[in-house]
Amino acid sequence: MSEINPEFCGYRSPLSTRYASKEMQYLFSEQNKFSTWRKLWIILAKAQKELGLEISDAQIAEMEAHIEDIDFPAAAEEEKLTRHDVMAHVHVFAKQCPLAAPIIHLGATSCYVGDNTDLLVLKGGLDSLLPKLVGVIKRLSEFAVEYRDLPTLGFTHLQPAQLTTVGKRCTLWVQDLLMDERALRNCRDNLRFRGVKGTTGTQASFLQLFAGDGDKVRQLDQKVTNLAGFEKYYAVTGQTYTRKVDLEIVSALSSLGATVHKMCSDLRLLASRKEVEEPFEKTQIGSSAMAYKRNPMRSERCCALARHLITLHASAANTLAVQWLERTLDDSANRRLTLSEAFLSADACLLTLLNISQGLVVYPKVIERNIAQELPFMSTENVIMAMVQAGGDRQICHEKIRVLSHEAGAQVKQHGKDNDLVERIRGDAYFAPILGDLDKILDPKTFTGRAADQVLEFVREEVDPVVARYGSNVETKSIGLAI
C-alpha cells in the first residue's frame, strides 16, 4: 500500500503554491523575517557601540556570523515554553552567540524587531510591485498606440453607444493604473522607520541606557534608521508604529485590485464578443467538456484575486480602528494574514496582467462586423445633415429616416437578420442626392472624434514620464504563467 506524502496533508496557501512570485514569497517568508530580526539586533548593537555603550567588535562579529543559520525547531520549542516569539528567538540567537548574549535586544521591546521588520518588508514589497505595475502600463500603452485609430463600438449602460477606438478604450485602463502607480509610489516614498522607541514609545529604556542623555537617544534613533536603509523615522509612536501606515498601503493595493478587476472584466466582455482576446496557448484546454472553448482564464483569475484583494481594505481599517491607547495585540494575527495576502495577491494580479498585456489579440473583422450592425442607426443624424446640405427638408428627411430605421430594427429584433438600414436608404429615391457620398458618411473613422489624437497625447504627456522614472527597472520581459 502506498504511503501518503505528509507534505500535502496540511493547508498551503494557493498564493504561494500557484500564484505569487518567488521574490514576493521570500519577502514574507519565515527565513526573511527572522534573519531580518537578527540584522536589526546587529544594527542596534552597532549604533549603541558608536554612541559609547560597552559593546565589542567581537560580539558584533559573532552575531554577524549567524544571521542566516536559524534553528527553527529550537525556536519553536522555546516559544512553547515562553509563549513569546521574540524572546524565543532571542534565546536561540543567544545560544549561538554566547559572547554577544548579554547585549542582544539591549533596551528594546518586541516591536523593535517586529514592527521594523514589517516596515522593511513593506518597503521591499512596494519596490517589487512598482516595476511590474509600470511594465503593465508600458505594454498597454504600446497596445493603445498600435490600435489608436481602429474604430470600435463604445458602450454605455452596456448598450451600443457612439464609436470609440480600441486604443482609446485601453487608455482608460492605463489611466487607472497610473493612479495606482502614484498611490503606491507615494506609500513607498513616505514610508518611515519605527526606529527605537521602547515599550510605549517614550524611549525611557534607552534614556536609562545613556544615563539620561536625550541627545544620544535621538542620535541612536537616527543611526538605527539610516543603517536599516531609511532616511526618516516616525517622530512619535505608541508601542507600535501607527496602523494607519498599514491601512494606507493596503488601501492603495486594494484600489489596484479594483482597477485590475475593472480592466479584466472589460476583457472578459470583449472576449465574449470575440473582439479582443487574452493570449491562448496552443496546448491550452478551455473546457473539459467543450473542446472549442477559449475561456478568458487569465482575466478570470485576475478578477478572482482582485476581489480578494479589495476585501482586505476593511480588515486593515478595522485593525487601525481598534488599537486601544498605545497598542493592543489583537492586531498581530490579523496583520500576519492581511499584509502578506495583500502583497501576494497584488503580485499575482500584476504577474498575470503582464502576461495578458503582452499577448492581447485583436480581431478587426469581427469588430467591423459588429460596428456594421449598429452604425447605421448611429449615423442617421449625419444622413439627415447631409440631405439638408443637399437642399432637403429636415423634417421630411427625419420622418423618412424614422420609418426606415423602425423597419430595419424590426428585421434585427423580430427576425434575427442583419441591420439593412443602409440598403433601405440606398433603395429610397428620396436619398438620391447623397448616395454618392453615403460610404464616406458611414465611414466609422469619422465617428471617433479625437480618439486617436487623445491616445498619442495621453501616452506622451502622462505615460512616458512615469515609465522614464523607472528606467531599466521596468518589468517588461515576457513571462510564463503557473497553472
Dist CA 237 CA 235 (whole Å): 7
Domain ranges within the chain, ordered by starting residue:
21-96, 111-279+294-362, 366-435
Residue of 115, 150, 124 lying closest to 344 (CA atoms)? 124
Fold of 111-279+294-362: Fumarase C; Chain A, domain 2 (1.20.200)
Domain 21-96 indexed as CATH 1.10.275.10: yes
Give the contacts of 453 (CB within 8 A, at least 6 positions apart): none
**pLDDT score, position 400:** 83
Dist CA 376 CA 378 (whole Å): 5
Choice among 56, 84, 287, 406 that is catalytic: 287
Q: How many residues does the chain have?
A: 483
Q: What are phi and psi of 155, to 5 degrees?
A: -135, 130
**Is 287 a catalytic site residue?**
yes
Dist CA 356 CA 360 (whole Å): 6
Choice among 2, 16, 128, 157 that is catalytic: 157
Residue of 461, 474, 422 lying closest to 444 (CA atoms)? 422
Residue of 195, 201, 178, 282 lying closest to 232 (CA atoms)? 195
Q: Cβ(113)–Cβ(35) under 8 Å?
A: no
Runs of H (alpha helix) within 235-331? 244-272, 297-321
Q: Which conformational region is residue 145 in: left (phi greater than 0), alpha (psi within -120 to 50 degrees), or beta?
A: alpha
Pairing mode of beta strands 159-165, 151-156: antiparallel
Sign of the torsion formed by the C-alpha atoms of 238, 240, 246 and 247: negative
**CATH, domain range 366-435:** 1.10.40.30
Q: What is the pLDDT of residues 242-294, one digit of tens each?
A: 999 999 999 999 999 999 999 999 999 999 999 999 986 654 444 444 444 47
pTM comes to: 0.89
Dist CA 278 CA 52 (whole Å): 62
DSSP 161: E
**pLDDT score, position 283:** 47
**pLDDT score, position 288:** 42
Dist CA 120 CA 70 (whole Å): 19
Query: Residue 2: exposed, middle, or buried by beta-carbon count in 10 A (0-12, 13-18, 19+)?
Result: exposed
- Beta-bridged to residue 164, according to DSSP, are 152
Q: What is the pLDDT of residues 153-208, one digit of tens each?
A: 999 999 888 899 999 999 999 999 999 999 999 999 999 999 999 999 999 999 99
Residue of 389, 398, 383 lying closest to 443 (CA atoms)? 383
The three grid cell numbers given for residue 464, joined into one nine-digit string: 512616458
Q: Identity (one letter) of the amino acid at 116?
A: N
Q: Cβ(143)–Cβ(136) under 8 Å?
A: no
Q: How many CB atoms lie within 10 A of CB 189?
A: 8
Please report, in tens digits, the pLDDT of each residue of the chain (483 residues total).
568 888 788 888 888 888 889 999 999 999 999 999 999 999 999 999 999 999 999 999 999 999 999 999 999 998 888 888 899 999 999 999 999 999 999 999 999 999 999 999 999 999 999 999 999 999 999 999 999 999 999 999 998 888 999 999 999 999 999 999 999 999 999 999 999 999 999 999 999 999 999 999 999 999 999 999 999 999 999 999 999 999 999 999 999 999 999 999 999 999 999 999 998 665 444 444 444 447 889 999 999 999 999 999 999 999 999 999 998 988 889 999 999 999 999 999 999 999 999 999 999 999 999 998 887 777 777 888 888 998 888 898 899 888 988 888 888 888 888 888 888 888 888 888 888 888 888 888 888 999 999 999 999 999 999 999 998 888 766 555 554
Q: Cβ(208)–Cβ(281) under 8 Å?
A: no
